[in-house]
Structures are given as C-alpha cells and as structure tokens.
A and B are shown apart, each in its own frame.
Chain A
C-alpha cells in the first residue's frame, strides 16, 4: 500500500467515523453498525475518488482561519452591495492559467466562490474562469495566495501561478 493511499485511508476513516459518532451521539449500541458503515463508506470513497496526491491535513487546518475570515468579508461585502441603493457593481471576467490537478482546481473554484467578490465557472482549456463582482475592487489580488495554499495542501509547493 502506498503512502498516499494509506494517508487517504486514515483521513477518510477518521472523517467518516467522526461523522458517525456525531450523528449517533456516540451511543454504544450504534458502534457495531457504525464500524461496518464506516468501513463500507471508506471503501466506496476510495473507489469513487481514488487519492492521487499527498494530503497535508495540518496545512488544511492552518488554512481554516483564512477561509473563515474570507467568508465573513465576502458575506459582508455582498450584503452591503445588496442593501446599498446603487450596489456599485462592475462585473467582469478573469481567465486564470492554473496547473493545479482537476480535483484541486474544483476545490480552488469552490473556495473562490465563497471568498470576497470572486466566483468560479469551472475551467476552459486549462484556464480557471473567474467572475469578479467588481473589477475595480481588487478582489483578484487574493487569488494567487489561495491557489498557492491549496497547492501546498496536496504537496505541490509553487505549482500555481497567475
């Protein structure tokens, strides 16, 4: 068993096992069915989404405060615009070359969609399509940093440019 597969197995077993414990309040009589359910779920998850890259959980954990802060700023920003009389919108598109692998690109796109002023519409010809709510507000300045942190989580330092 490779190292990548082993870490994926451990992470997913912990994640799904944790979810089972939370859902059942760790009731004793739920432990045995839980063991079976978690084992099957981990197996299914490895079948449906085979791990291809190393995964640094601590880097993901370190990324959480930044994500939460971005969520707050992003939510407050759209709320302010939605309630203001003129909304001050200046929407536009940005094409972003990205050499992140597919799954990481989807993760980056999903994250950007929750961060202030950016929204991903998938990729075209290896370029991430990003919609900006206000092209004058400099929302795009945060993108390289997000891409870098996601690349670092899957063990690809400096793989994302642009």
Chain B
C-alpha cells in the first residue's frame, strides 16, 4: 500500500513539476504545426540569438575543457601548498548565484573600473560584449569538467603513466597516448554537461551582456525578452529549441556514462 502511495506521489510530483510545463511549451509551439515554429526560429533576431549562444558556449566549453583537464591533473597528480583551497575554489561557482557572478565581473571589467578602463584603452571591451559573456559562462560552468575528470584520474592511478615514461615517452607523449585515452569518456561527459550548462545560462549573462537586442542577446535572453513583449510564439519556439538541445545533451551524457564503467577494470 505504502509503495503505491509513494509511486503516485512521485509520478504526480514529476508530472506537475516537469512533464506538464515542458509538455505544454512543446504543445503550444507545435500546436499549429511545424510552420510557425520554423518561421519564428528563422527571424533575424532569433537566428542572431542562436549564433551568439553558440559562440559564447563554444568558447566557454573550449576554455573549461583545457582548464578543467589541467586543474584535474594538478589536483590529482601533484602536491602543493594551497591544494585544498584550490579544490574548494573550483566548487565556488556551484554555490554562488550567477547574478552575483555577473555583478562581480561588471565590477572588475566594467568601463569605470581600473582594469576595465585599461582594457578599453587597448580597444578591448569586456562588459556588454562577447568576452564578458564568455567569462561569465566559463565561471558558472567551471567545476563541471574538473569534477567529471578528477575521480577517473584518481582511479586510473599514475602507474600507466610511469610505465610509459620508463618506455621512453616524454610528458606530452605520455599525456596524449596514455592519460587522455584513459579519461576520454569522463572528459566527454564533462564537456557535454558543460555545454548544456553554457547553453542554458541566464543570470550571469543577463547582467554582463546588457541584453542588447541583435547584439549581445543569447537564446535564453531572447526567450525572456520576447515573452515580456507578448510575442509568445517566438518565446515558445526558442524555449522549445533550448529544451530539445537539453534533451539531446542529456541523451549524450547517458550514452557516455556507462562506458566509463565498462572501461574500468
């Protein structure tokens, strides 16, 4: 009996929280067929927002992948003072609200700060421009690659790397031929998570972008702006596009995850 009650509660919970809202958005989007969706998504503003989102997410994923693998190696393979502090800092973006991140970035890189004005005198605008949005996205998605790679690196151990060294491999060769293949699935998982987070980021990007339509507007900002302007078809279409991308990345992570286990020994 208790089991049935629990089941009903669980189903109702996911129904009202997840299935109904997402389902309704998709129903509203495709209610009148595929035509309105394609029309809404091919408007210049929507296409531009899509492009901005891809640019920002692309750079953020690239930065976090390189940084993530580097920091994971540092945390697992090396001993140094302040290691635990670094480990704690990596998780900070999980705890700090993205809006705070955005405001902090404006404080450091804004036009009226010393750093911001110096960079601007070199012709480099950070805030209200792509670099600032990339920075904000990098920050909020920072821990994802590191946290995906660290446990696998720990489990992998360093004996294979040492064996490669005694066989004549240098540091780079050891990394490319032994370490990287050993962490590839975990790295793929981390990258996909990072991509999903980057595509969906709203708060931090909203603050640093200035929400300039057709300039610094990402897809999430576009959804919000269209909704505020009573352009519901466009808002729903873009929201559905975001949801579909999320579903695809989710499926990718499901595909990547079990492989790590079968590769463990």
Q: Do A and B come from one complex?
A: no
By a beta-carbon cutoff of 8 Å, the part of chain B in contact with chain A is none
By a beta-carbon cutoff of 8 Å, the part of chain A in contact with chain B is none
